Chain A
Amino acid sequence: MWLFLGTEIMFFGGMFCAYLIYRINYFNEFAAGSRSLNLKWGTINTIVLICSSLTVALGVRAAQMGRRKLLVVLLILTIIFGLAFLGIKGIEWYDKYQEHHIPGASFNAADLVRDYPQIHIDQSHEQIYFSLYFAMTGLHALHMIIGVGLFSYLTFYAWKGRYTPAYYTPIEIGGLYWHFVDIVWIYLFPLLYLIDRKPLG
C-alpha cells in the first residue's frame, strides 16, 4: 500500500508541477481566482476532512482492540464526513457554474477584472487557474468517492465481524488511503484558496 501511495504521489505530482509553473507565470490571475473561491466553505471542508481522519485513526485503534460496534460507528462517521465534504464541494462547484467560472465556451471572468482593477488580469490566463482548480479538486473528489466506496465495503464486513485484533489489515490499509487523500487536500487548500488574501493596495 505504501508503494501504491508513492504512485499516487507521482500522479498528483504531475498536476502540482503544472500548478507551480502557471502560478509563477500568471501570479495575478491565480491570486484573483483564489480570492474568488469561497474561503468559508473551504475552511469548513478542511475541518470536516481533519475530523474524518481522526475517526479513521480511532477506527484503526478500535479494530486493534477488537471493539466491533465502536469500529462500525467510527467507519460510518468517516463516511458521513466524506459525503459532507463532497456535498460542500458540490455547492462550491455549483457557485462556480453560476459565476461562469467553469472553463469552456461560457467562461467569463469579467467580474474578476472588474473587482480587482489594481492588477492586470488576462481572462484566458484566468481560465488556466480554473482549469487547474477543477482538474485538481475533481481528481481529489474522485479519490474521495473511491474512499467512500472503500469504507462502505469495510463497514459492511466490520459489521459482520470479519476484523479482529489478529486480522485488521484491511482497516489499516483503507485508513492509509483515507489519510493520503486527506493530506492531498491539506496541500490543495492553501495552494488554491490561500494564495494571496491580503487586501490589495
Chain B
Amino acid sequence: MATAAITAEREHYLNKDYGIRSWLLTTDHKRIALLYLMSITFFFFIGGFFALLIRLELLTPAGDLVQADTYNKLFTMHGQVMIFFFLIPSIPAVLGNFLVPMMIGAKDLAFPRINLLSWYLYIIAGILMLHCIVTGGVDTGWTFYTPFSTAFSNTKVIEAGLSIFIAGFSSILTGLNFVVTIHRMRAPGMTWSRLPLFIWAHYATSIIQLLGTPVLAVTLVLVVCERAFHLGIFDPVRGGDPLLFQHLFWFYSHPAVYIMILPSMGVVTEIIPCFSRKRIFGYHAVALSSIAIAVFGFLVWAHHMFVAGISLYSALIFSILSYMVAIPSAIKVFNWTATMYKGSITFSTPMLYAFGFIGLFTMGGLTGLFLSALGIDVHVTDTYFVVAHFHYIMVGGAVMGYLGGMHFWWPKISGRMYPEWLGKFAALIVFLGFNLTFFPQFVLGYLGMPRRYWQYPPEFQVLNVLSTAGSTILAVGYVLPMVYFLWSMRYGKIADENPWGAAGLEWKTASPPPTFNFEEPPEVTWEAYNYDQIAAPVEVSLER
C-alpha cells in the first residue's frame, strides 16, 4: 500500500509484510476487512450497473431499450447481487470485521481462520454468481417464488440458488465469529453495559444471521432439488404448496432486512455522540432496542404475503406485530435526536450521512407502517410504493450508514484523511440524488404503477424521468467517494490516532493500527461515550 513509503518508521498492519500471499492467506481481521471492502465494492458497482440499465429502460413508456425477458433478468440480478453480495456483507464484513475486535480491546476475532474461510466462501459464491450472470442470468426476481422458479423458468435458477446458499454460509460464519468474540474476547473492564452500541447492533445482527440464514439455505436446497430431481414439495400440480415456500423464504428474508439496517444503526449511534460532543441519550434503551428489533424481526415475515392468500386472522396478527417493530425503531430515532439536543454539533461528512440516515430511515420506516396496514397494503402491493419503501430503508438507511461509517473510520483504516469538502459535497449529492430517484416512486406506486414491468402507460412518464435523472446523480455520488478514498491513500493528509476526538478503544491505538491492534492490552475503566471527559479536537481537521 502506498502509505507505507511515508510512514515506514512505524510498523502497522498495512506495511507489516507485502506480497499477494500475505493478503490472501492473512488471518488478520483488518486485512480480511479490506479484502471484503474490495470485493463488495466490485459487486456494488455490478449491481449498480444493472440498476442504471433498469432506470434507462424506464425512461420511456415503451419497452425499447431491452426485451421484456432481459428486463426480468436485470431486476433479478440487481436484487440478488445487491442484497446477497453487497448489503448483507457490507457493514458487518467490512466495518464490523475491522472494528469489532478493536472496539472490545481484542487482538483479533475468536476464530481468525474461520474469518478468512468466510471470505473465500463469499468469493466462491461471487464467482458462481458472476458465471451465472455472464452465461444468461436468472429471471425469477430475487425472491425465487415457486412454482415459476421450480417448474417454468428456463434460466439458471440452480446456479444462482447454490451461489446464494454458499454466500449464506459465509454470512453464518461471520455471525458466529462475532457472537463468540463479543462473549469471550472483551478486554478487562469492558462490561456489557460499557460496550459501544455498534457492538450491540452487531450482536443482534449476528443472532439473526445465525438463526435466519439456515432457513433460507434449506429453502433454496429444496428449490434446487425440486428443479434438479423433480421433487414436488412446492409444486401445486402435485399438491405441493407455493405458500409454504413464501413462508420459509420470508422467514429469512424479512429478518435479512434487519441484517442490513441494524449495523447501519450501530454506525450512526457511534457518529452522532462524537459530533454532538455528548454522551448517547439512553444507552440501555438503544442497546436493548437492537435486540428487540432482532426478536420482532423474526415474527413479522408474513406481512410480505397479505395478498398471497393467508387467512385474515393471521394477517391481522402479522399486521399488529409489524406495527410493533416501529417501537424499537422509534426509540432509536428519538434517542439520536435527544443526543443531538443541546449538543455542540459539527457538520462533518460522517455527521451529514448520519443526518441523511435519520431522515431517510424515518421516511422508510413510516411508509413501512402504511404497508403493514392491511387496507393500504392491498392497494399498494407489488407497486412502486413498495420499491420506494424498501429502497428508503436499504439504500437510504443501510447504504447511508455504510458510507457514513466508511468516512468516520477511514482515517483509522488507511491512516489518511479524505478531502473534507469533497466528502461533504458527495454526501449532499447522494442525499439529493437518492430522494430524486426514489421519492417519485412513492407517488408512482400510489398512482398504481406496478413493479417489475418493462413498460408503462405514458401518463407515468414525467415521474419516471425524474427518477432516472435522480439515479444518474446518485451514481455520481457513489463514484466520488471511491475516487477520493483511493486518492487519499497516497495524497491524503496523515491522520493522527484520534482525528475526531472520539470515544472508544479503536481510537486509542495508532492509525493505522498495528497488527495486533494494541501495543499493550487495554483495560477499560470508563463508561462508553464519555464525551464529557474527552476534549474536542482543536481543529477537527475539517479545514483541510
Report chain A residues within 8 Å CB of B176: 3-4, 7
Report chain B residues within 8 Å CB of A135: 221-222, 225, 231, 233
Within 8 A of B (CB), among A121-163: 122, 124-125, 127-128, 131-132, 134-135, 139
State which of B213, B215, B239, B247 has its C-beta within 8 Å of the C-beta of A13.
Answer: B215
Tell me if A117 is interfacial: C-beta within 8 Å of chain B: no
Shortest Cβ distance from B177 into chain A, in angstroms?
A: 10
The answer to whether A134 touches B231, judged by C-beta atoms less than 8 angstroms apart, is yes
State which of A10, A131, A132 has its C-beta within 8 Å of the C-beta of B214.
Answer: A10
Report chain B residues within 8 Å CB of A8: 214
Tell me if A166 is interfacial: C-beta within 8 Å of chain B: no
The answer to whether B215 touches A10, judged by C-beta atoms less than 8 angstroms apart, is yes
Tell me if A104 is interfacial: C-beta within 8 Å of chain B: yes
Tell me if A15 is interfacial: C-beta within 8 Å of chain B: yes
State which of A12, A15, A105, A139 has its C-beta within 8 Å of the C-beta of B230.
Answer: A105
Tell me if A199 is interfacial: C-beta within 8 Å of chain B: no
Tell me if A200 is interfacial: C-beta within 8 Å of chain B: no
State which of A7, A12, A18, A25 has its C-beta within 8 Å of the C-beta of B233.
Answer: A18
Indicate the member of A25, A122, A135 with the most B CB atoms within 10 Å.
Answer: A135
Q: Given A17-B248, A18-B248, A21-B241, are A104 and B211 also a contact pair (CB < 8 Å)?
A: no
* Size bracket of the A interface: 20 to 34
Shortest Cβ distance from A177 into chain B, in angstroms?
A: 14
Q: What residue of chain B has the Cβ atom nearest to residue A9's Cβ?
A: B214
Report chain B residues within 8 Å CB of A134: 229, 231
Contact with A along B409-429 (1 / 0, CB 8 A): 000000000000000000000
Q: List 13 A-B contacts (CB under 8 A).
A: A3-B176, A7-B172, A7-B213, A10-B210, A10-B215, A17-B248, A104-B230, A124-B237, A128-B233, A128-B238, A131-B232, A131-B233, A139-B221
Report chain B residues within 8 Å CB of A104: 229-230
Q: What residue of chain B has the Cβ atom nearest to residue A103's Cβ?
A: B231
Tell me if B219 is interfacial: C-beta within 8 Å of chain A: yes
Q: Which residues of B contact A (CB under 8 A)?
A: 172, 176, 179-180, 210-215, 217-219, 221-222, 225-226, 229-233, 237-241, 244, 247-248, 251
Q: Given A12-B218, A18-B222, are A3 and B179 also a contact pair (CB < 8 Å)?
A: yes
Tell me if A26 is interfacial: C-beta within 8 Å of chain B: yes
Report chain B residues within 8 Å CB of A127: 232, 238-239
Shortest Cβ distance from B325 into chain A, in angstroms?
A: 21
The answer to whether A128 touches B210, judged by C-beta atoms less than 8 angstroms apart, is no
Report chain A residues within 8 Å CB of B215: 10-11, 13-14
Tell me if A6 is interfacial: C-beta within 8 Å of chain B: yes
The answer to whether B238 touches A124, judged by C-beta atoms less than 8 angstroms apart, is yes
Q: Which residues of A contact B (CB under 8 A)?
A: 3-4, 6-8, 10-15, 17-18, 21-22, 25-26, 103-105, 122, 124-125, 127-128, 131-132, 134-135, 139
Q: What residue of chain B has the Cβ atom nearest to residue A14's Cβ?
A: B218
Shortest Cβ distance from B280 into chain A, in angstroms?
A: 29
Shortest Cβ distance from A27 into chain B, in angstroms?
A: 13
Q: What residue of chain A has the Cβ atom nearest to residue B239's Cβ?
A: A125
Query: How far is A132 from B176 in the complex, measured between Cα atoms in Å?
Result: 29
Report chain A residues within 8 Å CB of B247: 17
Query: How far is A125 from B239 in the complex, measured between Cα atoms in Å?
Result: 6
Query: How far is A4 from B169 in the complex, measured between Cα atoms in Å?
Result: 11
Report chain B residues within 8 Å CB of A21: 241, 244
Query: How far is A58 from B248 in the complex, measured between Cα atoms in Å?
Result: 39
Shortest Cβ distance from B250 into chain A, in angstroms?
A: 12
Query: How far is A12 from B221 in the complex, measured between Cα atoms in Å?
Result: 11
Report chain A residues within 8 Å CB of B210: 3, 6-7, 10
Q: What residue of chain B has the Cβ atom nearest to residue A127's Cβ?
A: B232
State which of A3, A17, A26 has its C-beta within 8 Å of the C-beta of B239.
Answer: A26
Q: What residue of chain A has the Cβ atom nearest to residue B209's Cβ?
A: A7
Shortest Cβ distance from B206 into chain A, in angstroms?
A: 9
Query: How far is A127 from B237 in the complex, measured between Cα atoms in Å?
Result: 11
The 7 A-B pairs at the shortest CB distance, nearest first, are namely A131-B231, A11-B214, A124-B238, A14-B218, A104-B230, A10-B214, A125-B239
Report chain B residues within 8 Å CB of A132: 233
Q: What residue of chain B has the Cβ atom nearest to residue A132's Cβ?
A: B233
The answer to whether B218 touches A3, judged by C-beta atoms less than 8 angstroms apart, is no
Given contacts A14-B218, A127-B238, A135-B221, 20 further A-B contacts (CB under 8 A): A7-B172, A10-B215, A11-B214, A12-B218, A14-B215, A14-B219, A14-B248, A14-B251, A17-B248, A25-B241, A103-B231, A104-B229, A105-B230, A128-B239, A131-B226, A131-B231, A131-B233, A132-B233, A135-B222, A139-B221
State which of A11, A17, A124, A139 has its C-beta within 8 Å of the C-beta of B232.
Answer: A124
Report chain B residues within 8 Å CB of A18: 222, 233, 244, 248
Query: How far is A10 from B225 in the complex, measured between Cα atoms in Å?
Result: 19
The answer to whether B232 touches A103, judged by C-beta atoms less than 8 angstroms apart, is yes
The answer to whether A10 touches B211, judged by C-beta atoms less than 8 angstroms apart, is yes
